[in-house]
A and B are shown apart, each in its own frame.
Chain A
Amino acid sequence: MSSLEQMYQQVILDHAKHPVGRGLIDVDADHLHGESHQVNPTCGDEVTLRVDVVPGAEGEPARVAGVSWEGQGCSISQASVSVMTELVSDQPLDEVARLDGLFHDLMSSRGKGLDDEDREDDLGDATAFTGVSKYPARIKCALLGWAALKDSLVRSGASATND
């Protein structure tokens, strides 16, 4: 497979064509919600993302009930938001934070991947972005949605800091 084909894996092209979670939806009044607009100023890609968080209760950690979003941009940025939406939905916040860390590690891997099958399995379809990490100019495309998720979680009041 050429570098180009490694970058544009079929799963990425599919998500770009048929994105998951596109179209902002209202959040249940009992839930926490946060919204974030992120722009990549060098290329004009943008995403507006809304997160729906079920607050924690006794013995039950807070979790992401769902993510919805609107955006425009390249296939990498749009597919990445879509894959992320699937990955984090119905996950507790600490797991979402861990996945965010794994994805950032993947994007820093310069095409090598995580070198750990278990951690890659946790990322599911998001491992398809390994090929993107070879191209420094495109890494920010793949991270746009993750930045919007992190910021919207802070804005929802569900996560305390935006480090």
Chain B
Amino acid sequence: MTTTEVGAGRAARTFTPAELAAVRADFPLLGRTVRDGKPLVYLDSAATSQKPQVVLDTEVDFYEQRNAAVHRGAHALAEEATEAFEHAREQVAALVGVEADEIVWTAGATMGINLVATGIQNATLGRGGAAAEQFRIGPGDEILVTEAEHHSNLVPWQELAARTGATLRWIPVREDGRLDLSGLDDLVTERTRVVAFAHVSNVTGAVAPVARIAAAARDAGALTVLDACQSVPHRPVDFHALDVDFAVFSAHKTLGPTGVGALYGRRELLEALPPVTTGGSMVEVVTMEATTFAPPPLKFEAGTQMVAQAVGFGAAADYLRELGMDAVAAHEAELAEELLKIGEIPGVRVLGPETVGTLGEDAGPEAGLPDRVAAVSFVVDGVHAHDVGQVLDDAGIAVRVGHHCAQPLHRRFGLAASARASAAVYTTLDEVTAFREALAGVRAFFGEE
């Protein structure tokens, strides 16, 4: 057993080699080869994670043994299917420290953010009655995002601003990839209604100072919406402790299936927010004139849900909790340190924090956790990211190339594209070493000195 100090009072052990080997054995895809028999080195987990056998088995088992329509019908299968579906909600809620009825199933994180933005728009149109007035937004009001956002946490807010006459503002990004909070007092004011930001950047891997931003938003009476897609799979996350109002994350980045994600909302806010997608299952009483809605979370889950995927997501959440998110974070902090050594290769520049530090006491509930995750974007002098990725691919190494759905952040760095290597719980130090060695040969391949 090895122990890594992840911070003051938060010592967490990483995995032993045997434990990590056992984890890897749980992921059938990691055993395959690519490009003429080369072992796969999968470093694209920030785009989507691989899935452990238990997630695949759980989904198959659902279809083989329990498949039925949920929340309707009184036969035995319907009961079992509903139970599995709602149990999954508890499993996913437990992963992020909240109550099951604060978790809304969505088609993914993008849909979760759109749900909140469109719910606010519906409130602005007068839907939801007096309880929803708190969400109304219009000319003179402001929505605050950051320059580091994934397009999924930017475009929906641009759209909401355009539809309501509100103004979109943003927190800039410093040269080192971290948010520039020097102007926070001017950016978060009584005009600010929504503050939407990523917990962890999908490009720089930097962890945002959630406690500080959430406190400023709360003082100003603004709602916080946290994009937790890149944090939930990689570190302990507790939305109650972080004191955010809404948060989204996706199953497919969290060892779970595609097609499902989760929206967390503070219970009283989910009760007040008007529904967005309407139809079957989300109602109480329907007459030809009007409809009353079910309480949350069902109010937001119209139509047939992605039941098998949700059940698989529940299995993924349990899998991670059994490994222990402190251990996952400690393991991935080691991987991040190894990944960051690419900065020593001549001509390679890392975007974002170049070291792994530890969050201090001002990070509140996150004190002691790593200040970045093992997602490292980089550029190679004289070689375009696509060409970098192609040479790595030829060695069986899968990285992401392009703008990673974050064009404004790349523009901030004066770039159109970068390459990104990102790890997950199943990634090994040997894989990172293989990546570094292959990367070291890229410039020579293209005839760069």
Contact = CB atoms under 8 A, between A and B. Distances in A.
Interface in A76-113: 76
Of B385, B387, B394, B403, most buried by chain A (CB within 10 Å of CB) is B387
Contacts of A4: 390-391, 394
A74 B447 contact: no
Given A17-B447, A72-B416, A141-B386, A43 B391 contact: no
Nearest to B386: A74
A45 interface: yes
B283 to A, nearest CB: 39
B407 interface: yes
B401 interface: yes
B390 A7 contact: yes
Majority DSSP secondary structure for residues of A touching B:
mixed
Contacts of B403: 43-44
Contact of A44 (B36, B387, B394, B402): B402
Nearest to B395: A4
A45 B417 CA distance: 8
B385 A74 contact: yes
Interface string B388-417: 001100100000011100010010000011
A45 B401 CA distance: 12
Q: How large is the interface on A (under 10, 10 to 19, 20 to 34, 35 or more residues)?
A: 20 to 34
A135 B391 CA distance: 13
B35 interface: yes
Contacts of B35: 3
B63 interface: no
B133 to A, nearest CB: 39
B445 A76 contact: no
A161 interface: no
Nearest to A135: B390
A151 interface: no
Interface in A102-158: 135, 138, 141
A43 B417 contact: yes
Contacts of A72: 416
Given A13-B447, A73-B384, A74-B384, A43 B401 contact: yes
B330 to A, nearest CB: 35
A44 B416 CA distance: 6
22 contacts: A2-B394, A4-B390, A4-B391, A8-B387, A8-B445, A13-B446, A13-B447, A17-B447, A43-B402, A44-B417, A45-B386, A46-B416, A73-B386, A74-B385, A74-B386, A74-B387, A75-B383, A75-B446, A76-B386, A76-B387, A138-B386, A141-B386
